[in-house]
């Protein structure tokens, strides 16, 4: 991992910060937010400048860094530093580059890069969440003990690819790819809410934690192919005969609001997860997402945490029903830029960049 000293050294040489990210996932929102706060922007892309940004003039990056492959990115670190880049991580950025290469990247990065190790290993993530004291679906250690529906997923985000439901050990054996690390969780029946938080170590007013403040900027539901519409063809039992199995590949997002009586519980969960992160590894900085199921007993089960901006926030580039109550028009992308700006102005960049 790059040391804090090295990052401090690099930042000392910076004049104007440039917000840089990989051209996918939530890049439109990040570039748009950066520009709203007056930052220059840099898009990192493979092979050639992506044309689709031309359709979004208010989000088009000012410059591009074109690489042959994401694995080559570390070799462009100096170039990025010369440009004054602060890398803003998102799910695809980390996935394309790899968690290991990401934490070793010698470019200042928004947030605490130590979070990557705690998030990408599903056992460590579970330890973190259990330390925080939030409810989770039960973990099944022994596949041949499956006697109720379970959800099996692999390490890393991957946008849901490969995940599957198993109702018994035979189901499990039929679908599992044992060459990858996986986790087996109880399948909890309920409605899903993806809660978008922002933890600011610089915050002084608002929902206060032991250090800094916590905001909630939106809530969405993920839209998954083919599970979300397969019921239209008939029962799963019947579809199995047609060779159609449920899959969970994220293809988009739908905006939702939460029953207001669940909101205090949601804030408390966010609070506990941040406090645990401060204890365990110095804190998860900036945006994060608690991925939850709400049961008909109105209880949250957190089945995953994403410790950076997630794509569901793309719904809210012009604000959400929640961010409206904080500051009208505030997206998560813009909130990241705002945090960088505040850190710059108060000489506390090292609190939000690593």
Q: Per CB under 8 A, which of residues 158..217 are in contact with its own copies?
A: 159, 161, 165, 167, 187, 189-193, 205-208, 214-216
Q: Which residue in 263, 313, 295 sits closest to 136, CA to CA? A: 295
CB of 234 to its own copies, least distance (A): 5
2-10, 115-123, 237-245, 278-286 -> range binding its own copies (CB under 8 A): 237-245
User: 99: which DSSP letter?
Assistant: H
Site string for its own copies, 32-71 (x = CB under 8 A): x-----------------xxx-xxxxxx------------
Taking the complex as a whole, how short is the minimal distance between the CB of residue 332 and its own copies, in angstroms?
Answer: 12
Burial class (CB in 10 A: 0-12, 13-18, 19+), 192: middle
Cis geometry, peptide bond prior to residue 6 (ω within 30 degrees of 0): no
Cβ closest to its own copies, residue 10 vs residue 219: 219
Q: Which of 104, 186, 228, 291 binds its own copies (CB under 8 A)?
A: 228
The verdict on 231 binding its own copies (CB under 8 A) reads yes
Q: Min. distance of Cβ 82 from its own copies in angstroms?
A: 28
- 341-346 long-range contacts (CB < 8 A, ≥24 apart) are 341/37, 341/38, 341/39, 342/202, 343/202, 344/17, 346/202
**Terminus-to-terminus CA distance in the chain, angstroms?**
10
Q: What is the separation of C-alpha 174 from the centre of its chain, rounded to a whole number of angstroms?
A: 30
The binder of its own copies chosen from 11, 66, 176, 326 (CB under 8 A): 326
d(CA 287, CA 201): 12
Nearer to its own copies, 1 or 230 (CB): 230
Is residue 24 a contact residue for its own copies (CB under 8 A)? Answer: yes
Among the residue ranges 107-115, 120-128, 129-137, 234-242, the one whose residues contact its own copies (CB under 8 A): 234-242
Footprint of its own copies on residues 248-307 (CB under 8 A)? 249-264, 267, 294-298
For its own copies (CB under 8 A), the number of binding residues is 93
Between CA 287 and CA 345 the distance in angstroms is 20
Residue 27 binds its own copies (CB under 8 A)? yes
User: Should residue 226 be labelled a site residue for its own copies when binding is judged by CB under 8 A?
Assistant: yes
Give the integer Cα–Cα distance in Å for 279 and 8.
23
Among 2, 244, 278, 280, binds its own copies (CB under 8 A): 244
What is the H or E stretch that residue 334 is in?
A: helix 332-345
């Amino acid at each position: 991992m790059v040391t804090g000293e090295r990052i401090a050294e690099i930042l000392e040489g910076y004049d104007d910060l440039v917000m840089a990210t990989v051209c996918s996932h939530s890049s439109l929102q990040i570039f748009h937010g950066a520009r709203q706060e007056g930052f220059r922007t840099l898009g990192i892309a493979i092979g050639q400048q992506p044309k689709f940004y031309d359709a979004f003039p208010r989000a088009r990056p000012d410059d591009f860094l074109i690489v042959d492959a994401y694995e080559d990115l570390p070799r462009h670190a100096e170039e990025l530093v010369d440009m004054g880049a602060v890398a803003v991580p998102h799910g695809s950025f980390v996935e394309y580059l790899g968690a290991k290469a990401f934490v070793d990247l010698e470019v200042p990065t928004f947030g605490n890069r130590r979070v990557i190790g705690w998030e990408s290993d599903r056992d460590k993530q579970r330890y973190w969440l259990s330390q925080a004291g939030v409810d989770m679906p039960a973990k099944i250690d022994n596949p041949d003990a499956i006697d109720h529906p379970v959800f099996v997923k692999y390490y890393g985000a991957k946008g849901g690819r490969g995940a599957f439901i198993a109702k018994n050990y035979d189901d499990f054996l039929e679908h599992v790819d044992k060459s990858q690390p996986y986790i087996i969780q109880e399948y909890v029946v309920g409605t899903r809410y993806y809660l978008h938080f922002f933890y600011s170590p610089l915050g002084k007013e608002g929902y206060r934690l032991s250090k800094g403040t916590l905001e909630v900027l939106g809530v969405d539901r993920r839209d998954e192919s083919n599970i979300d519409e397969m019921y239209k063809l008939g029962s799963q039992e019947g579809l199995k005969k047609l060779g159609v199995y449920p899959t969970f590949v994220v293809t988009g997002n739908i905006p939702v609001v939460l029953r207001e009586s669940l909101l205090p519980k949601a804030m408390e969960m966010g609070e506990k997860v941040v406090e645990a992160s401060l204890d365990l590894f110095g804190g998860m900085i900036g945006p994060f997402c608690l991925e939850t199921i709400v049961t008909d007993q109105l209880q949250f089960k957190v089945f995953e945490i994403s410790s950076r901006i997630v794509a569901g926030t793309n719904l809210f580039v012009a604000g959400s029903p929640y961010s409206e109550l904080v500051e009208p028009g505030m997206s998560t992308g813009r909130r990241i830029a705002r945090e960088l700006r505040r850190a710059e102005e108060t000489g506390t960049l090292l609190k939000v960049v690593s």
